[in-house]
Structure 1
Amino acid sequence: MPSQSKGFDFTGAIRLVCVDISRRLPEMSHIDMARVAVGLCQTRSDAMHGVFATLTPLRFAGGRAEKKVRGRLHRIQPLVDPSGQEYLYLLNFYLPRFLNLPLEEKLSTIVHELWHIGPMFDGDLRRHEGRCYAHGSSQRKYDALMDRMTRKWLASDPPAHVYEFLECQFQELHAEHGGIRGQRWPAPKMVPG
């Protein structure tokens, strides 16, 4: 990917989509995108199998800043914005794979990852009952809910200019703008507290 000075700012553009979704969908109104780091990761190939996006909580269960591991307190190494405020979540998109999805699948993927943000917005995930706490007992029902929320967002008539870049595949966007750039974040690590 080209240097930071030229090309399409993917993370800036995708952040605006996330802001609009969180403002238009009451189910997402607890999300403050100013506290969510948005990044891009480059995949080794453009194969369509694999991860499209991930949401990483930057706190432990219940929003706790520290957790005891083998008798010692640990915390997650913080990610901070330019003003020094800590982010509570890291939302990464994997390119080119994510951009090569059809438009509605891209939007549903965004909604899917935002839905993982816990309703308390405390750095923890939304936890479902049972052993499959991330998606609940049925992945099919979870995906259907994400598709319904995506259609609800589209029905709210968001401004086309906010998400029209998502109509492009990776190569189209790259060619049109002379490259694709965006923020990259180090993988969060647990460190002694």
Structure 2
Amino acid sequence: MRPSATACDLVRRAPVGHPEPRVARLNVTLAVKRLVRDVAARVPELAHVRSSRVLVVAGEARRASRATIRPAHFKRPRAPGTGGRQKPLIRVRGRKILYVITLRPLWFRASTPEQRIGTILHELYHASNRFDGTLHRGRRHSRLPRARYNRKIRRLLERYLAVAPPEIVAPFSASGIVRARMWLERPGGSFPEEGFTGRRLYTERQLFCGLVRMVTPRRRKTRRAAG
């Protein structure tokens, strides 16, 4: 059975009848999902995170950001007919998505492995402890100074890297062409509940797997003192 057009697996298959063997190619958005699941199991401060409710995609640049997290759900949408606003519903494999993490070009092109993992922790820490599709009010940068927030993330990162399985961490040291899930049609913001004629539901049909070049800086070798 051939994979669907929206499949985003770890292996790129050669064309039918082509003699070339299958070429393994890292699926970086899947690697991030596995990281999110493992972090939730090992970092108590992020134990409320549910990876099945997080969608990871690659996206366009946004100032100097490496990644962003966006709530994909209103906590209490107003009842139909009350003139409120709604957000498009995102479902992947039948599951309602509560948060979308977008990996920006700087994450791929100008980050160390530690920075990539730290960025994911940074974004997850913004999510509400209820993990209900909202952000934690006390962890917004407008309320919590960035320097203090970053110190907290550094401590979480150090603790996590001390116990993280090598197979979870290894993909973030990759260089070269990788696969990443992307929007074919990206959901907009909220819309008025009455009179809106645009798309209200987004699924795998609005996603596809594209190719991105990942560049990881080489570690500098420390010079040994002459004996």
Amino acid at match of 2:76: R
CA deviation string 1:12-67 (max 9, x = no partner): 111111111111001101111101111111449xxxx612101001223xx22349
Amino acid at match of 1:152: R
Q: 2:89 aligns with which of 75, 78, 88?
A: 78
State whether structure 2 residue 64 is matched by structure 1 residue 64.
no
Q: Which has the higher contact order (CA 8 A, sep 6+)?
A: 1
User: Larger radius of gyration, structure 1 or 2?
Assistant: 2
User: Counterpart of 2:99?
Assistant: 89
Q: Alpha carbons of 1:146 and 1:42: their partners in 2 closer, same or farther (altered >3 Å)?
A: same
State whether structure 2 residue 124 is matched by structure 1 residue 114.
yes
How many angstroms apart in 2 are the aligned matches of 1:159 and 1:54?
Answer: 25
State whether structure 2 residue 192 is matched by structure 1 residue 192.
yes
Amino acid at match of 1:98: W
Q: Is the 8 A contact 2:46 2:125 kept in 1?
A: yes
Q: Is the 8 A contact 2:26 2:171 kept in 1?
A: no
TM-score (norm 2): 0.67
Extract structure 1 runs of 4+ deviating beyond 3 A: none
Q: Is the 8 A contact 1:8 1:173 kept in 2?
A: no
Amino acid at match of 1:162: I
- SS at 1:144 equivalent: helix
How many angstroms apart in 2 are the aligned matches of 1:106 and 1:183?
Answer: 17
How many angstroms apart in 1 are the aligned matches of 2:98 and 2:188?
Answer: 11
State whether structure 2 residue 107 is matched by structure 1 residue 98.
yes
- Where structure 2 has 5 or more consecutive residues not aligned to the other structure, the ranges are 1-6, 13-24, 194-227
State whether structure 2 residue 170 is matched by structure 1 residue 161.
no
- Where structure 1 has 5 or more consecutive residues not aligned to the other structure, the ranges are 175-179
Q: Quote the RMSD (CA, aligned, Å).
A: 2.4
Q: Is the 8 A contact 2:73 2:89 kept in 1?
A: no
Q: Alpha carbons of 1:142 and 1:119: their partners in 2 closer, same or farther (altered >3 Å)?
A: same
Amino acid at match of 2:87: I
What number of residue pairs does the alignment pair up?
Answer: 168
Deviation at 1:189, TM superposition (A): 2.4
Q: Alpha carbons of 1:183 and 1:151: their partners in 2 closer, same or farther (altered >3 Å)?
A: same
- SS at 2:118 equivalent: helix
Q: Percent identity?
A: 23
Q: 1:183 aligns with which of 163, 181, 184?
A: 181
User: Counterpart of 2:176?
Assistant: 173
